[in-house]
Chain A
Amino acid sequence: MGVVPVLIASLIGGMLGVVGGFAGGRTNTAIMRMMDVFYAFPSVLLAVAIAGAMGGGMANGMLALTLVFIPPMCRVAETATTQIRSLDFIEAARATGARTTTIIRYHVLGNVLGPVFIYASSLISVSILLASGLSFLGLGVRPPIPDWGLMLSTLRQSIYVVPLVCALPGVAIFITSICCNLVSDGLRAAMDVRM
């Protein structure tokens, strides 16, 4: 529930961003303005609204999260591509007579993948939080499939009786998302290319 939307979003968003960033001009403006429309809403609100409109369920919840994550992924890929595009080695590749698709495959993707990957890994923890939020509201996973957000919701009543039990799923969510953040930081350090 947490990882899948991020993966799909980084694929779609990354592709849109690379195409937009490399094409530049009007194509880029069209793509980025479209993304800005989604950006205008707070991400939680947008996820809730989409999931609510389509009805609950795990598939719909994931779809909602994917839509929420596409714009930021697209923006990261677009920024990286625009930076790369103006460098001389792209021009040198053009001077050898390489086609645009070849240039993107060999010279652009390798440079854009790093930032996209790092950003995607940091989004996973956000995604986990949002997903459990959706489940809590009854818009994500439905019983009998187990989910921490769902548990939080059902254990709400026990907060006055045994508060500890009620807190446990929350602690689990917290620890998982912290772990994801740490992995993301590690990746960033490992993949840092000296410019």
Chain B
Amino acid sequence: MRTGLPLDPRDRGGLQQPMLIARDLRKHFPVKGSGKSVQAVDGVSFTVGKGETLGIVGESGCGKSTLARLLLHLVTPDRGELVFDGDAVGAPEGIAVGALRRQVQMVFQDSYSSLNPRMPVRDSVAFGPFVQGKKKDEARHIARDMLSRVGLDPSLFGPRYPHELSGGQKQRVNIARALATGPRMVILDEPVSALDKSVEAQVLNLLRALKRQFNLTYVFISHDLNVVQYISDRVLVMYLGRVVEIGPIDAIFERPLHPYTHALLASRPSMDPAKRIDEPPITGDPPNPIDPPSGCRFHTRCPFAEAVCEAADPVLGPWEGMQSHVAACHIHDPHSRHSRFGNA
């Protein structure tokens, strides 16, 4: 899939070089008065290959959206490093944040609040190119082109205001806005979560078509496993601000390694009425991210938790290249002396 793509003139490292490398990203939000902090993202590392779609899944509040904002430096990380196509973001010899934002764009979940209610949508779309140095009529022209690419007639929908559009149409405008500046990578933060099922399918297909047309790389954040399965090449599973499992889509969905991923997959509604789920595969709420459990953060809800899980932090591994399927679980670590090693 990643071979045979025409090379972008802005490409620097060739197809083998990852589009984005995140190393040990961390963001803690201080809680006023208590001296503690919400550990929204705590040591997350991953890579996104060129032309790939990386899905990010996890429960509400596990730090998915914070992670998305970290990738664009809309929230500055406390620690950690981002490398975009070989250039460290924000480093003196690397790529500046402003330059990063010319190549990476974002689509937000709430299609309503992500459009200015007092601006015709064509102006919202034209704003990005305009800010990045295009003349006003040039930017207008790009906006018209982009609106028609996302399937909205520019002369009909361009002059409208956001409150005159439906949710699906607004999300199309948001996608047009993100693509108007010609990014190489797009971060999609739950782009279809607020849409109903039929519109969701349309938007997903649109995203796939646009990816081929513009040769894009996606980071696709969602809590809906079916959606992620449909659109992603690889999946990253997050739990309480940490990566618990990462791997190719088929491997994750067929042979999940981590008990949490297993539970997530089992919680999908069954398509077979004879196999209804009566017992929820996972119970309780996720622990408070202000005071996360010691060791493996999942041990409070994990059916296989043992003493080692509470005592030691599991690490992701063992790595075997970009496409490897790894989980942060003591069950898969021969050195952990977890009793279930080898027969999970």
* Residue A111, interface by CB 8 Å: yes
Whether the Cβ atoms of B118 and A88 lie closer than 8 Å is no
Q: Are A95 and B117 in contact, CB atoms less than 8 angstroms apart? A: no
Q: Shortest CB–CB separation between residue B180 and chain A, in angstroms?
A: 9
As a 0/1 sequence over residues 84 to 102 of chain A, the CB contacts with chain B under 8 angstroms (1 = contact) are 0001110111111110001
Q: Is B74 interfacial (CB-CB < 8 Å)?
A: yes
B132 — which chain A residues lie within 8 A by C-beta?
96-97
- Chain A 101-120, CB-CB to B under 8 Å as 1, else 0, gives 01000110011001000000
Most buried by B among A88, A91, A114: A88
Q: Determine whether the beta carbon of B106 is less than 8 Å from that of A95.
A: yes
Known: A96-B128, A98-B127. A110 touches B114 (CB 8 A): no
| Chain A count of residues within 8 A CB distance of the other chain | 20
In the assembled complex, the Cα of A133 lies from the Cα of B105 at a distance in Å of 58
> Which residue of A88, A96, A98, A193 contacts B108 across the interface (Cβ within 8 Å)?
A88
Residues facing A in B92-137 (CB within 8 A) are: 98, 101-102, 105-106, 108-110, 113-119, 124, 127-128, 131-132
Tell me which residues across on chain A come within 8 A of B181, comparing CB atoms.
96
Question: Is B163 engaged at the interface, CB distance under 8 Å to the other chain?
Answer: yes
CB neighbours (8 Å) of B114 from chain A are: 87-89, 91-92
Does B258 reach chain A (CB closer than 8 Å)?
Answer: no
B302 to chain A, nearest CB (A): 35
- A195 located at the interface, meaning its Cβ lies under 8 Å from any Cβ of chain B in the complex: yes
Contacts of A92 in B (CB 8 A): 106, 108, 114, 174, 177-178
**Does A26 sit at the interface, judged by CB under 8 A?**
no
A33 within 8 A of B: no
Q: Given A110-B119, A111-B118, A193-B118, are A96 and B101 neighbors across the interface (CB < 8 Å)?
A: yes
How many angstroms from the CA of A97 to the CA of B69 in the assembled complex? Answer: 14
- Interface range, B side: 20 to 34
By the criterion CB–CB under 8 Å, are B105 and A95 in contact?
yes
- B218 CB → nearest A CB, Å: 16
* Interchain CB contact under 8 A, B177 and A97: no
Residues of B within 8 A of A (CB): 69, 72, 74, 98, 101-102, 105-106, 108-110, 113-119, 124, 127-128, 131-132, 163, 174, 177-178, 181
Query: Which A-B residue pairs are the 3 nearest by beta carbons?
Result: A88-B114, A96-B128, A97-B101
Given A92-B178, A95-B106, 17 other A-B contacts at CB below 8 A? A87-B113, A89-B114, A91-B69, A92-B106, A92-B174, A93-B127, A95-B101, A96-B105, A96-B132, A97-B101, A98-B131, A102-B131, A106-B127, A107-B119, A193-B163, A194-B163, A195-B163
Q: Which A residues contact B (CB, under 8 angstroms)? A: 87-89, 91-98, 102, 106-107, 110-111, 114, 193-195
Question: What are 26 contact pairs spanning A and B, CB under 8 A?
Answer: A87-B113, A88-B109, A88-B110, A88-B113, A88-B114, A89-B115, A89-B116, A89-B124, A91-B74, A91-B114, A93-B127, A93-B131, A95-B101, A96-B101, A96-B105, A96-B127, A96-B131, A97-B101, A97-B132, A107-B119, A110-B116, A110-B118, A110-B119, A114-B118, A193-B163, A194-B163
